[in-house]
Structure 1
């Protein structure tokens, strides 16, 4: 009798008298089911954890390579930062100081007059502290020709100190007349608005500014 005939003729109520081949088959089937369920609920989860760990390892390796390159180049970065800091300090030192600011504003006004420009309005405003520098707004209204304004810019650029002038809400329009000058008014322009010039702040001013703008908790800590 073949295995399949034994399988068709099984007596489900008398398992103990089943042929050994049938018993072995079902024993193998039960073991296979148990192993499959164990793999499904345990090993597959562990495989997913392993895949995540491998992906994390790839990310950590890439991060390590990146940080290793940064460490290798750290000395070069520090030197570059030091050079940039020195250059910035040199540029700041070329700006006028607090005591030089009044003279500088006078020189700017005189440069305009020397270029032939008429200062209808030249009114410096209060300084505004910005951390390591201060800005000085100047309201102005100047009347002159294109070439006179060019000469004015050239004179300002030739001053001993570095002068930075930034324009805010400035308009340049044709002028109908130039007070105090005879002859034709063709090509005369009126420059009107606000310009800002800048100076560096000394150590005491910077410390005072930082103290005044520090958070209340930081002030209290620093005062102990």
Structure 2
């Protein structure tokens, strides 16, 4: 018989039991450390990745479900943009629009003392087109002119109104009105880029 085994058998029962428990615990610990833990880490990693894939699929599904809504909103935005562009004349239409404003002033019985277009102020896809106006007429004529300008199919804002020079003429109170009529034109980026490049090369 092996001396070590014989020595073990001669030990009291409780010592043999403790040694067996300790040995089994050591074997169990080694199994846990070298076999179970690596597999557990791999398992938790797979669970995490699986959850991430599920979350991404849920997000993608939500986007897919809302795609018709997004398309409808996009089409509405395009319609609104098209409508806005119809209210913004291009550069070629500005002279005709300014002529319409001057004609409205005269049609309402106003005497046009000044009609002075200013420099355009480009602000992205549109530009402000200011026109300095100085007219003479009674209150009703001026108010009707402002109303008619506001009713034009193109956007024209009246601002910087200054009323002065009141005088009686033919039993009617005539007013001298200074104001700034500002319309807006659409800026064609394709047309403006070559011009900008031409200036840069000079």
- Unaligned ranges ≥5, structure 2: 1-6, 198-202
Q: Relative to total residues, which structure has the larger strand share, 1 or 2?
A: 2
CA distance in 1, matches of 2:161, 2:154: 21
Alpha-carbon distance in structure 2 between the residues aligned to 1:189 and 1:48:
84
Residues 180 and 200 of structure 1: is their aligned pair in 2 closer, same or farther, counting only changes over 3 Å? farther
Q: Note if contact 2:115-2:131 (Cα within 8 Å) is conserved in structure 1.
A: yes
Give the structure 2 partner of residue 217 of structure 1.
none
- The whole-number CA distance in structure 2 between the counterparts of 1:26 and 1:158 is 98
TM-score by length of 1: 0.57
Choose the corresponding residue for 1:197, options 176, 183, 195: 183
CA offsets 1:105-151 (integer angstroms, 9 cap, x no match): 12202312333445444210244566765542212345666543431
RMSD of aligned residue pairs (Cα, Å) = 4.3
Give the number of aligned pairs: 188
Q: Give the drift of 1:212.
A: 4.5
Q: Which residue is equivalent to 1:122?
A: 115
Aligned counterpart, 2:102? 109
User: Structure 1 regions of 5+ residues with no counterpart?
Assistant: 1-13, 215-224
Of 143, 162, 171, which aligns to 2:160?
A: 171
49, 54, 66: which one pairs with 1:58? 54
Q: Hey, what's the Cα distance between the residues in 2 that align with 1:200 and 1:39?
A: 72
Inter-partner Cα distance in structure 2 for 1:176 and 1:158? 25
2:134 touches 2:176 (CA, 8 Å); kept in 1?
no
Superposed, 1:30-179 pairs within 5 Å as: 30-38=26-34, 42=38, 45-46=41-42, 48-70=44-66, 73=68, 77=71, 81=74, 85=78, 88-89=81-82, 92-93=85-86, 96=89, 98-127=91-120, 135-142=128-135, 147-156=140-149, 162-166=153-157, 170-173=159-162, 175-178=163-166
Residues 1:207 and 2:200 are matched in the alignment: no
Aligned residues of 1:164 and 1:198 also touching (Cα < 8 A): yes
Name whichever structure is richer in helix by fraction: 2
Distance 1:98 1:180 in 2: 41
Q: When the two structures are superposed, what TM-score results if normalisation uses the length of structure 2?
A: 0.62
CA distance in 1, matches of 2:164, 2:46: 83
